[in-house]
Amino acid sequence: MTPPTPPAPPIEVRPARAEDRPAILAAIGSDATFHAGEIAVATELVDAGLDGDGDYLLRVAVADGDVAGYVCFGRTPMTRATYDLYWIVTHAAARGRGVARALLAAVEREVAAAGGGQIRVETSETEGYGAARALYERAGYPLAATFADFYAPGDALLVYYKRVPA
């Protein structure tokens, strides 16, 4: 008889530090989801966050002692309490273990602790973003808007929008 699988170790979410940069960039480049232009923008936001730009808050998820993923979010300019989730990535080798779920939950806890508000997430309707859509839908993010052909013909922009109470 095979012994029962031990429970997965907990995933810790904490603010990113400068030394996390290589692991964050490794996660971003760990599969073919993002093209070079997207990687450049993601890296720019990571560097802004690591430089202490309060518009781009960075949190990393640590699993088994390693940075397995990160999230970049911040309060949307000109809003009272709306936040944009700019980027969320789990390293391809660490997917399917709740890393992104833990990151999203941490963002929601921070928004709640700051008095509550709304979180907006944008993604694409293409196949490569199926995991992202599943993540948001499983985490209770209602699909609020669809902009057909936004990124390219047949590639809509999907906007998810969740209210987070205080």
Ligand X SMILES: CC(C)(COP(=O)(O)OP(=O)(O)OC[C@H]1O[C@@H](n2cnc3c(N)ncnc32)[C@H](O)[C@@H]1OP(=O)(O)O)[C@@H](O)C(=O)NCCC(=O)NCCS
Binding site for ligand X (CB under 6 A): 33, 69, 87-90, 95-101, 123, 129-132, 134-135, 138
Sign of the torsion angle spanned by Cα atoms 48, 164, 130, 60: positive
Nearer to ligand X, 17 or 138 (CB): 138
Alpha-carbon distance values, 50 to 11, 16, 17 (Å): 21, 7, 7
DSSP 114: T
- Closest distance of CB 42 from ligand X, Å: 8
Half-sphere exposure of 104 (CA within 13 A, CB side): 21
- Closest distance of CB 1 from ligand X, Å: 27
- Closest distance of CB 67 from ligand X, Å: 13
Nearer to ligand X, 64 or 115 (CB): 64
Nearer to ligand X, 138 or 163 (CB): 138
Nearer to ligand X, 98 or 110 (CB): 98
- Closest distance of CB 115 from ligand X, Å: 26
Q: How many other C-beta atoms are found inside a 10 Å radius of the C-beta of residue 6?
A: 6
**Dist CA 25 CA 30 (whole Å):** 8
